[in-house]
Amino acid sequence: MAPIALLSVSDKRGLVPLAEALHHRYGYQLLSSGGTAKALREAGLPVTPVADHTGAPEILGGRVKTLHPHIHGGILARRGDASHEADLVAHDIAPIDVVVVNLYPFRETVADPEVSWETAIENIDIGGPTMVRSAAKNHAHVAVLTAPDQYNRFLAELDASGGAPKDAVRRQLAVEAFAHTAAYDAAITRWMQARPELSGADDPTAADLPWLEALPLRQRLRYGENPHQHASWYSAAKAGWGGAIQLQGKELSTNNLLDLEAALATVREFGYGASGSHPASRAAAVVVKHTNPCGVAIGDGTAAALNRALDADRVSAFGGIVALNGCVDATAARELTSLFLECVVAPAFAPEAREILAAKANLRLLELAPAAIDGAGRDHVRSILGGVLVQDLDDQPVSPDDWTVATERIPTDSEREDLCFAWQLVRHVRSNAIVVARDGQSLGVGAGQMNRVGSAQIALEAAGDHSRGAVLASDGFFPFDDTVRLAAEHGITAVIHPGGSKRDGDSIQACNELGLSMLLTGRRHFLH
């Protein structure tokens, strides 16, 4: 009897080459249904419809297709078990040896904030997870594939082993399959918990529902932040960094990913890409070292913004991570090759830019589409001993109309623009955070100091003479007037901070005395 491969996939990438190899090279009979069967027939492959195999038609508008003993008996039967084999013979059930299933695109469906409850529910797969779990449970006899990126690896294993996958391969595929269904169920639970249609959603006790996030393993990293630490990267297949395409360069490291996240969050302040929920209104570039931006700028085009961001601090930029919010062209590419960098992320790279950057073979280039960012959700998750903390991302749009002038002198229009730019940047700097900026360019960044005036000293010293006529932003309020007085000594003309200190009056009085303007935002942006 020819071995049987059951194929039922929503994501049809790589489907036909896999099916061709299974059928032509290894003699598998192809069993399928719906759109998958249609795709295989159109490719000229012989395929047995599931309804013919089971003798039962699809019912309930396709909701029931594969939930049948001829499917699950064939998957779950233990080969060599006399009672199981007797049942197969008695009920005329053929064993199924390979199961290729990926699930209805629930995450992609609910990424649309306007999706209705009914549409989302119809995109919850039932038969698919059931087949995946059956095959994964019986991995001693059945191989289960749940993602297109497994296909070539599986075929290579068949080539190496003469057509029969080894036990270790089936076992690893089973682990990946259970991770796949766990992540799928977690995505459904998370979405339903957040919907107003859920009974009790306005009840505070609803918050007691457990926070769930099961993500499949994407990559085992070489090490963690340091060589003695083990590390792994778990990510949804198409959301967030899981949707990034690495175009060239060395394997990503833990520190690369942490820095890329910081750089991307900062550059998104100015929009990202030409589509998505927040398209770029002006070109922006960010250079990050150790999760803190060391150079940020806007400009007339990607190359101009990049040049200005690097000029902000070329010493710190060496070995840094760059994020750009527009397509990388040839001019920007040449600028990127002017110094050693670890990674570059952008929504797109022009072909001529790819050719130029290919000379830097180790430079990691990541193309991250706006759609992948939009599909990532808005939770910020950090681990603590024995648990996780989950909060909203601090990515609310800046609202200058809500700010108040606290001083006698009102900021000029150019100062307001600089204050807005500095405020967009300072919330991406580790607290205590101070940013000095002017004309859409960072001039000095003070990060992570245990007192605010210490961060101010670092930022102002980095800016040097360029601080004269510039502005200063602080992520938290000024507890004393020392930061304002230090800023004035360096030629700062305007400052912006949340306000809220019992001693705000001291800092306001110092500004009035020294001729500075002060804006209060009413919103703090600590980052730890």
User: 57-84: string of b/e by CB count within 10 Å (b at 16+)?
Assistant: ebeeeeeebbebebbbbbbbbeeeeeeb
How far is residue 283's CA from residue 307's CA, in Å, rounded to a whole number? 12
How far is residue 163's CA from residue 151's CA, in Å, rounded to a whole number? 14
Among the listed residues 12, 84, 250, 290, the single catalytic one is 290
How far is residue 392's CA from residue 214's CA, in Å, rounded to a whole number? 18
Q: Which long-range contacts (CB under 8 A, 24 or more apart) does 461-466 make?
A: 462/313, 462/436, 463/436, 463/490, 466/436, 466/438
Q: What is the DSSP letter of 64?
A: B
How far is residue 105's CA from residue 120's CA, in Å, rounded to a whole number? 10
If you write DSSP's letter for every residue of 282-340 in order, what string do you get?
Answer: SEEEEEEETTEEEEEEEESSHHHHHHHHHHH-HHHHTTEEEEESS-B-HHHHHHHTTS-
65 is known as an active-site residue = no
Nearest to 355 by CA among 324, 327, 333, 332: 333
Contact 264, 319 (CB under 8 A): no
Nearest to 400 by CA among 516, 521, 498, 512: 521
Contact 274, 253 (CB under 8 A): no
User: What is the token pair recorded at 344?
Assistant: 């570059």
3-state secondary structure 188-234: HHHHHHHCCCCCCCCCHHHHHCCCCCCCCEEEEECCCCCCCCCEEEE
Nearest to 33 by CA among 72, 11, 7, 10: 7
Q: How far is CA 28 from CA 21, 67, 168, in A?
A: 9, 22, 21
How far is residue 163's CA from residue 3's CA, in Å, rounded to a whole number? 10
CA quadruple 220, 226, 229, 233: dihedral sign: negative
Q: What is the DSSP letter of 241?
A: G
3-state SS, residue 370: helix
137 is known as an active-site residue = yes
Among the listed residues 137, 141, 238, 289, the single catalytic one is 137
- Estimate the crossing angle of helix 69-76 against helix 127-137, to 10 degrees: 30
Contact 8, 146 (CB under 8 A): no
Burial class of residue 389 in the structure, from the number of CB atoms within 10 Å of its CB (0-12 exposed, 13-18 middle, 19+ buried): exposed
How far is residue 406's CA from residue 439's CA, in Å, rounded to a whole number? 23
Q: Which residues are catalytic?
A: 137, 290
